[in-house]
Structure 1
Amino acid sequence: MRTRIAAGVAVLSAVMVVLAGGSLSPVSAQDKAKIVPPVHLYGHDLRVRTGGDPNFGPNTPRIGVEFFRDEATRAIIAISDSGSLAVTKAPIGALGMDKTCKWLTAHDLSCRKAGEAEFTQKTKKFGVELFQDRASNSLLYVSETGSVALAPVPGGLVTDKGPKWHHALEPKVRTPEQEKFDTAKKFGLEVFKDENTGGLIYVTEIGAITPAAAPGAAPDPKKIQPPKAAHGLVLRVRGANEPEFTSKTKQLGVEVFEDPNANVLLYITEAGFVATAPNAAKVPDAKGVTWKSAMALGARKAGESGFDKARRFGIEVFEDNRTGNLIFVSETGSIAVLPK
C-alpha cells in the first residue's frame, strides 16, 4: 500500500486571484508574498473538426481559447472554454506583437478504451487541429473535446505528414478514497508521433491531449513496457468563487507514472486528463507537494467579445516536491505541468 499525500488541507486561507470581474481575497499569513494576478493577453476562436470530418464547413464547431501571463509562476497559461489547461514557460521579455493563430495541419487520433485490445471501426477517433500561436511562438494543439496543449516550434516543422502510432498504455488512477489500485479506474491511452514536429502526442480515451519529446527510437511494438507507478497525490482544488479551502473543497486524485517507452514522466488525473514532463532526477527523500498559487481564469466561448458571460475556472498551482515541477490543476480535473 502506498500512502498518498493530501494537499491543500493545511493551507486554509490561501489566496485566490480572481480575473474577469472578480476581486482579490486578503492574503493570509501563510502566504510568502502577495500574489500578482495573471494578465490576460488575448484569445482565439478556433475551428476544430470532429474525428473523421475532412472539411471545414459552416457547422464546424468553434472553441474559445484564452492566453494569460502569470508572473508568479513565470508561465504562459492557455485555457479553453471548457476549462482545459496548457502551460509553457514565459519569455524573459514581451511576447510578439502578432496575436494571430495560424492553422498548420490536423490529425485524427484513435484511442482505444481500457480493455479494447485492437483498433476497430468502433474505436473512438478524436479530431485534433494544430496551430501556431504567433505571439508566444508555440505550437497549439486543440482537441475536439476542448483539451489544449502547448509545445515548442521545432526548426524542421512541416505540415504535410500524419501521425504515426508509437505505443499505448492503460494506467490506473485512484480516487481520493482509494489507497490501493485493485479497483482503481483504468484509462486507455495512445501515444502517437507527430511526423510534422518530431514530437509525441498523448491522447486518452476522453480526448485529453498532451505533448512530449520523442525518444531517439520508437519501442518495439511487441515489447511495450507498462507504466511504472512513481507516486500518487490528492490535490484540493477550489471553485472559481471559493476563496478558502474548507472541508467541502473538491479533492482530485492524481497519479504520476514513468513511461519507460519514451522516458517521460506522466501525470494523469481521475478525470482522465494528462500532462507530461521530462523524467529527470528526483529529489532524494522528498514527498508530497507545496502549494504555490491559485487563480480563477475566465474563458469566453467562441464568438463572445466580452467576459461578462464567460465561465471562470478555479485553478491551483502546486510544486511537486519530488521533481520540482509545477502542477497546474483546474476544478474540471484538467492538469498541466511546467517542468523545473
Structure 2
Amino acid sequence: MRKRIAVGLCALTAGFVSLFGTMAPAVAQKEKADKTADKAAGPPKFLYGHDLRVRPGGETDWVKANKIGYEVFEVQDEAVPAIVAISEAGAISVIRKGPIDEKKTCDWLTAHDMSVRKAGEANFSSKTKKFGVELFRDNGAKHLLYVCETASIAFAPIPAALVKDKGPKWHHALEPKVRAPDQTGFDSAKRVGLEVFKDENTGGLVYITDIGAIAAAAAPAAHPDPNKIAPPKTEYGLVLKVRGAREPDFTEKTKRVGVEVFSDANADNQLLYLTEAGYVAVAPKPASFKADAKGVTWKGAMALAARKGGVKGFDGATKYGIEVFEDNRTGHLIFISETGSIAVLPVAK
C-alpha cells in the first residue's frame, strides 16, 4: 500500500491573514420562495452508497482506519439540477446532475496528511492538528472525492493528467471571521483557521478548516508569494434558516446559520462560503454581482438519510435536513445542512 503523503512542518512560518473591519449586517434570507420551488417533485433518488476507509492524520496502517458511510442521491426537482453526496456526519458536497456510470464503485487513489493551524496559531509546530484525507475516484459520479477523517467530503473534477504519487503543497492560509446570526459587527465574531493546499496529483486546491472541513477548487496559474498573502475580501453575509429532518415548517425556533462570503485574491478571487460551524465551500466569482440583488431565494428542501460505516440497512440511519437557496447576487445554488455543512453548485455557464 502506498504510504500516506504528508505535508511537512518544514520552515514554513507564513502566518494567517486575519480579517477585521466592519460591514453591513448579515442579510437575512427572503421569506418569499421562488414559485418554481412549489411545484411537486419527488424525493431525491438514492443512487448508491459506500463504506470509505479513512486513516487518522499521521497513520499509515489501514488497521487503524475508520469506516465512513457515504451516500449519493439525485435531486428530482428541475429547479435544483444536482447530485448530492452526504456522509454519516451530515457533511455534504454537490455536483451538477449528469449521467451516472453503471460502475458505481469508489476506487482509492492516494492519501494526504494536512496540518491545520487553529485561529491565532501563527506557525506550524509538532502540536499543530494533522488531519488524514483520503482521495478516491467515484466512478458512479465520474468525479474525484476527498474524504477527511472528520467525515467531511468534497467532489473535484478528474484531470486528464491525474497522478497518484505526489503530495500536497502548502499554498496559503487565511483567518477569516464569521458572525453568528445576531451579530452585526466583526469585533467579537468567531475566527476560523483555514489552510489551502495544492494537490500535486490533481493540480487543484484543497481548502481545509481547523475543524477538518474540506472543499476543492481550481488552482490559479501562479503560486502566491508566501510573504505577500492577500487577506480575504468580505463581499457580504447571509443568515440562512435550516430545518431539521423532522421539522416540516419554518418557525421562530428554526435554526439560523451565519454564512460569510469572501473573495480570495490568492486563488483568482474565487468565492468562499464559510459557515459559523467552520464548514467551507468554494465557487467562481462572477465578473459582477447582479445589480440591486441581495439575499437569497429559497428553492427547495430535502431530508437525506446517511448510514454509519459498516451498516447495511437504512432503518437506523440518521436523517439530515438540507435547504437549498439561490444566491441572488451570483445565481449559485447554496445547499446547507442542519449540521452547518455547506456546498455550492455554480450557476450553469
TM-score range (shorter-chain normalised) is over 0.9
Q: What's 1:5 paired with?
A: 27
Cα-to-partner distance string for 1:192-238 (whole Å, 9 max, x where unaligned): 00000000000000000000000000100000000000000000000
Are 2:118 and 1:113 equivalent residues in the alignment?
A: yes
Q: Which amino acid letter does the alignment assign opposite residue 25 of structure 2?
A: T
* TM-align CA RMSD: 1.3
CA contact (8 A) 2:193 2:210 kept: yes
How do 1:175-214 and structure 2 match up within 5 A? 175-214=180-219
1:226 and 1:31 mapped to 2: Cα distance? 37
2:341 is aligned to: 334
Matched, 1:234 2:239: yes
Q: Distance in 2 between matches of 1:120 and 1:333?
A: 29
Q: Which runs of 5+ in 2 are unaligned?
A: 1-22
Count of residue correspondences: 321
Q: Distance in 1 between matches of 2:25 and 2:320?
A: 29
Q: Give the Cα separation in 1 of the matches to 2:242 and 2:203.
A: 34
The AA in structure 2 aligned to 1:42 is Y
**Contact 2:36-2:299 within 8 A present in 1 as well:** no
Comparing 190-199 and 94-103, the one that deviates more: 94-103
Which stretch of structure 1 is more off in the superposition, 66-75 or 202-211? 66-75
Name the SS of the counterpart of 1:261 in structure 2: helix
Q: What one-letter code is carried by the residue in structure 2 that aligns with 1:269?
A: T
Aligned residue in 1 for 2:160: 155
Residues 1-340 of structure 1 correspond to what in structure 2 (within 5 A)? 1-7=23-29, 9-10=31-32, 31-57=37-63, 59-72=64-77, 73-91=80-98, 94-263=99-268, 264-281=270-287, 282-340=289-347
Letter in 2 for 1:81: E
**Contact between 1:8 and 1:236, CA under 8 Å: does it hold in 2?**
no
CA distance in 1, matches of 2:114, 2:335: 25
Shift of 1:170: 0.3
Distance in 1, Cα, partners of 2:26 & 2:54: 38
Counterpart AA for 1:198:
G
CA contact 2:25–2:183 (8 Å) conserved in 1? no
> What secondary structure is seen at the aligned counterpart in 1 of 2:267?
coil
| AA of the residue aligned to 2:51 | D
Mapped to 2, the partners of 1:36 and 1:200 lie a distance apart of 35
Work out the CA distance in 2 between the residues paired with 1:66 and 1:31.
24
Stretches (4+) displaced over 2 A: 8-11, 29-32
SS of match in other structure, 2:62: coil
Residue deviations 1:47-89 (CA, integer Å, cap 9, x gap): 00000001211x4211000000113211111100000000011
Structure 1 position 31, deviation (Å): 4.6
* 1:36 CA drift (Å): 2.5
* 2: CA distance, partners of 1:61 / 1:274: 23
Structure 2 counterpart of 1:34, which letter?
Answer: A
Q: Is the CA contact 2:32–2:297 (under 8 Å) kept in the aligned structure 1?
A: no
Q: Is the contact between residue 9 and residue 236 of structure 1 (CA under 8 Å) also seen in structure 2?
A: no
Q: Partner of 1:222: helix, strand, or coil? A: coil
Distance 1:266 1:31, change over 3 A: closer
Q: Deviations over 1:128-183 (max 9, x none)?
A: 00000001110000000010000110000000000000000001000001000111
**Amino acid of the structure 1 residue aligned with 2:177:** K
Paired residues of 1:8 and 1:245 also in contact (CA < 8 A): no
Q: Which runs of 5+ in 1 are unaligned?
A: 15-28
Distance, in Å, in 1 between the alignment partners of 2:162 and 2:62 is: 23
Query: Given residue 2 of structure 1, which amino acid in structure 2 is its aligned partner?
Result: A
Between the aligned partners of 2:329 and 2:317, the Cα distance in structure 1 is 36
Structure 1 distance, partners of 2:38, 2:84, is 22
Indicate the residue corresponding to 1:21 in structure 2: none
Query: Residue 13 of structure 2 corresponds to which residue in structure 1?
Result: none
Pick closer, same or farther for the CA change 1:10–1:285 going to 2, 3 Å: closer
Q: Shift of the alpha carbon at 1:90?
A: 1.2
Whole-angstrom distance in 2 between the partners of 1:144 and 1:30 = 38
Asked whether the 8 Å contact 2:110–2:134 carries over to 1, the reply is yes
Give me the whole-angstrom Cα distance separating, in 2, the residues matched to 1:277 and 1:36. Answer: 28
**Counterparts of 1:122 and 1:6, CA distance in 2:** 39
